[in-house]
Structure 1
Amino acid sequence: MSHPSPPFRSSHPPFSPAQARAARLRIGLTPEQVIAAIGQLGVHRPVQALMCWEAGTVAPSEAELFALADALWCPVPVLMDLRPRSLREHRLARQFSAERLALRIGMDLRDYVRAENDHHWNGTDRQTLVLADALGLEPDELLRVIGRAGELDALLRQAVEGRWKQFTAPLARLVGVRERAVVDAVRTLHQEYARFNERYMGHLVARSDTARLKEIATERAAWLHGLADRFLHLVGHDERR
């Protein structure tokens, strides 16, 4: 016996009535023409539905939002009036239904819906890579969406402070890039971190003044703070070569 899919906590996607009206006026369509256009896309609604969307009294469903975006030649994020950040928002921006995206990445629909509702991703490495490809996510965006940005920071700290080679495979899986690119990036980071330590110890042995030691320590702290961004930049540069 089949079981119904768990409902989304929000039945309607984010929507900006002002942006929808502005998009329609920008291309010079009447409400009747927009309704006719979305009807050709298989979404049949009365003109009053569009008037309610533009007035903000009713929000369109996901299917209605997708059809409206196509009819207005307008990107979905513009109609949502936001920069996608959550998993659901990125899915909507790419005009995927939950069913279609779950099928694309090979995940049970209930598990996928739960991931969106709970903001907790439990997909396999392969499912995560396919998700990134389907939604066009860069490594840093992917990590934020699936809630693993903190894991990246922790792995990188351990890599630069210790025996870095053992961390290349986990890092490659985490960010979804070739291990060769990660090896080159982490080797570079390890060398940069070592130079900070060499400079600090050199000044310490030379009995430099405390201000100079503090300056180097502050530079190292700033470098560590931007470690993930530096790593992703190096990986991206290597991937493009």
Structure 2
Amino acid sequence: MPVNTHAGEPRRPPFDAEAARRLREALGMTPAHVAYGIGAAYGIRVAPATVASWELGETSPTEAELTALAGALWCAPGELITAPGTLREYRLAAGLAADELALRIGMDQAAYDALEAGGVWRGNDRQAAALSEVLDLPLPALVRFTGQEAKLTEMLTSAASTRWQGYVRPVGKVVPLPKEQIQDVLEELHREYHDTMAASLNWGEGGSAEESRRAGRAFLDGIVERFWERTGLSG
């Protein structure tokens, strides 16, 4: 899953065409009314056919168009987004401009812009907590956006393949979950990893050490996703 929106043409937000149609109809508006509202309030000229095309899922609005559309439909931008994936999309869903978000989390505007454009997180714990609160981020997204996923992957890999007990506290520093829950998940991942390795050695007569290693690598390749699934926080 992408962390940020990288350089080049901005990726259009994941638009919920059905929600847009439903909201428009609930207001008793036609695509022409919506197009007029977008132009009158935001100065963005779109044709009624364009609005209809958005609702059919044939095309999707840009960030500016989506914000204007939300205004015309009297809803929050987040109501027109299916599932935010990047930091920019979470910000857009919250209805915040980049400079406003930077101010609210106490981060320099240029530093935030660089982060959203694909840069690395250079903020502190206080700013990370503020980012989580302002954007209402799921824990997996917060870990990803603040550059902690690689560290978490390394620790989970070691916990599954060696002694998991030594990684309960370090994982807890990255993922603020109850200690008992982290213990249970790490123990489960450790058991599943070793069961996977052992099972591949017993695949009929063709089982081999190399097949066991391949099975183990495949398990570890998805270790972060497995961790979030077992915590009930699939990211």
* SS class of match (2:231): helix
- Structure 1 residue corresponding to 2:226, chosen from 206, 224, 230: 230
The amino acid that maps onto 2:135 is L
Q: Structure 1 counterpart of 2:92, which letter?
A: L
Distance 1:183 1:216, change over 3 A: same
Q: 1:184 to 1:61 in 2, by over 3 A?
A: closer
Residue 134 of structure 1 and its aligned partner are, at CA, apart by 3.0
The 1-side partners of 2:192 and 2:8 are apart by 46
Under a length normalisation based on structure 1, what TM-score does the superposition of the two structures give?
0.63
Alpha carbons 1:102, 1:112 under 8 Å: kept? yes
Of all paired residues, the percent bearing the same amino acid is 30
- RMSD of equivalent CA atoms: 4.6
Amino acid at match of 2:120: H
Deviations 1:130-189 (A, max 9, x none): 323433333333344445433322221112223434433332333343444323321332
1:26 Cα offset (Å): 3.7
SS at match of 2:232: helix
May I ask how many residue pairs the two structures share in their alignment? 217
Change over 3 Å in CA distance of 1:160–1:21 after alignment to 2 = closer
2:12 is matched with 14
**Map 1:1-241 → 2, pairs under 5 A:** 14=12, 26-27=25-26, 28-30=28-30, 34=34, 44-45=41-42, 49-51=45-47, 54=50, 62=64, 65-73=66-74, 76=77, 83-195=83-195, 199=198, 211-213=206-208, 216-217=212-213, 219-236=215-232
Highest Rg: 1 or 2? 1
Q: Which runs of 5+ in 2 are unaligned?
A: 1-5, 54-60
Look up the equivalent residue of 2:231 and give its one-letter code: V
Offset of 1:31 from its aligned partner?
Answer: 6.9
CA contact (8 A) 1:23 1:74 kept: no
**1:166 and 1:76 mapped to 2: Cα distance?**
44
- CA–CA distance in structure 2, aligned partners of residues 165 and 181 of structure 1: 13
Compared CA separation, residues 44 and 166, structure 1 to 2 (3 A): same
Query: Partner of 1:49: helix, strand, or coil?
Result: coil
- How far off its partner does 1:95 sit? 1.1
Following superposition, the deviation at residue 91 of structure 1 comes to 0.8
Structure 2 equivalent of residue 3 of structure 1? none
Is the CA contact (8 Å cut-off) linking 1:185 and 1:235 kept in structure 2? yes
For residue 5 of structure 1, what is the aligned residue in structure 2? Answer: none
Contact 1:105–1:127 (Cα < 8 Å) also in 2:
yes
Cα distance change on mapping 1:83 and 1:193 into 2, 3 Å:
closer
Distance 2:7 2:217 in 1: 41
Deviation at 1:34, TM superposition (A): 4.4
Are 1:66 and 1:95, in contact at CA under 8 Å, matched by a contact in 2?
yes
SS of 2:117's partner is helix
